[in-house]
Amino acid sequence: MLNEIRTVYLDSDLNIEAYRFKGIMQKFPAHFHEYYVIGFIEKGQRYLVCKGEEYIINPGDLLLFNPYDTHSCEQIDGKSLDYRCINVTPEVMKKAMLEINDNECLPCFQQNVLYHSEIVCNLRELHLKISQGDSELKKEELFLYLLEELIQMHSDLTIHSSVSETSNEIKTICNYLEENYTKTITLNDLSNLTGWSKFHLLRSFTKQKGISPYSYLETIRVNHAKKLLEQGVKPIEVSFLTGFSDQSHLTKFFKRQVGLTPKQYMRIFENEGVS
């Protein structure tokens, strides 16, 4: 079909693939993958057979395939399919499980279809961050939280409770973020500061501060951006002085937190200077 879009993003930070199919009518015969597939339907209705079970899947439904789960699907509403998924190899899953559960036991998802799942919103956000080449810190936060929810609620494994966090480690992380906000910061950097696993760090920090490390970092950057804009520094310069990748990145977070674009905010102080 002329309107088909088939895109594959290889994310070197997370070491996973992200697929996007748009306008697809193709029938997929019975097959399996050697990796986990976590995907969702955006548009179209499909007849799915997985491990002998039959399903009718619709937009908003989440699909979970374990390695070697045999499945096939075809369109049944006469319309094309829009679909997004991430592919996670067992090796990457083992590393994630070591972070989340302190062991490398691989999960087995017990349901292949989760109808109208709220988890789709989290998967869509992660997929978009991957396709847009967003920061490693944000993507890894989303990835670990996504896996935690899926494994805790829909797999054969139980996630062990973490040891209690201490304020000293959280303060160390905050100080590091405040002193290095112009740099590229990863969860690995923060983990090395405390000796915690990345997943325990995420949970502990978010519990104490009310926001994730990435959101805390972006808030620091926005606060510094405000001071520069008040001094008349142009938004394009501000973006690079405060650690944002470009002006559009600055504008996105600035408007979300302040309610104004950087240019609108700067004009307030320009007008104040007019006698």
Closest to 1 measured CA to CA, from 34, 41, 44, 30 = 44
Q: Using alpha carbons only, give the angle 234, 240, 242 rounded to the nearest 5 degrees.
A: 95
Cβ count within 10 A of residue 190 = 22
Q: Are residues 135 and 73 in the same domain?
A: yes
Domain harbouring 268, CATH code: 1.10.10.60
Q: Are residues 16 and 119 in the same domain?
A: yes
**151-to-75, 110, 117, 161, 200 alpha-carbon distances in Å:** 29, 10, 14, 14, 15
Q: What is the DSSP letter of 160?
A: P
Q: Using alpha carbons only, give the angle 115, 25, 41 rounded to the nearest 5 degrees.
A: 20
What pTM value is reported for the model? 0.87
| pLDDT value of position 3 | 82
Q: Are residues 145 and 172 in the same domain?
A: no
Q: Are residues 19 and 33 in the same domain?
A: yes
Cβ count within 10 A of residue 200 = 19
| pLDDT value of position 275 | 40
User: Would residue 159 count as lying in a domain?
Assistant: no
User: Would residue 204 count as lying in a domain?
Assistant: yes
Total structural domains within the chain = 3
User: Would residue 113 count as lying in a domain?
Assistant: yes
| pLDDT value of position 162 | 60
Q: Are residues 182 and 256 in the same domain?
A: no
Cβ count within 10 A of residue 248 = 9
Q: Are residues 50 and 107 in the same domain?
A: yes
| Phi (first) and psi of residue 4, to 5 degrees | -70, 140
Cβ count within 10 A of residue 6 = 11
Closest to 73 measured CA to CA, from 116, 121, 112 = 112
Q: Are residues 205 and 125 in the same domain?
A: no
User: Would residue 183 count as lying in a domain?
Assistant: yes
Distance CA 195, CA 197 (A): 7
Pairing of strands 36-43, 62-65: antiparallel
User: Would residue 160 count as lying in a domain?
Assistant: no
Q: Are residues 184 and 240 in the same domain?
A: no
Q: Are residues 148 and 230 in the same domain?
A: no
Q: Are residues 117 and 205 in the same domain?
A: no
Map residue 272 onto helix, strand or coil.
helix
Q: Are residues 137 and 264 in the same domain?
A: no
Distance CA 197, CA 88 (A): 20
User: Would residue 161 count as lying in a domain?
Assistant: no
Query: Residue 118 belongs to what domain range?
Result: 5-154
User: Would residue 225 count as lying in a domain?
Assistant: yes
Flag residues of the chain having pLDDT under 50: 274-275
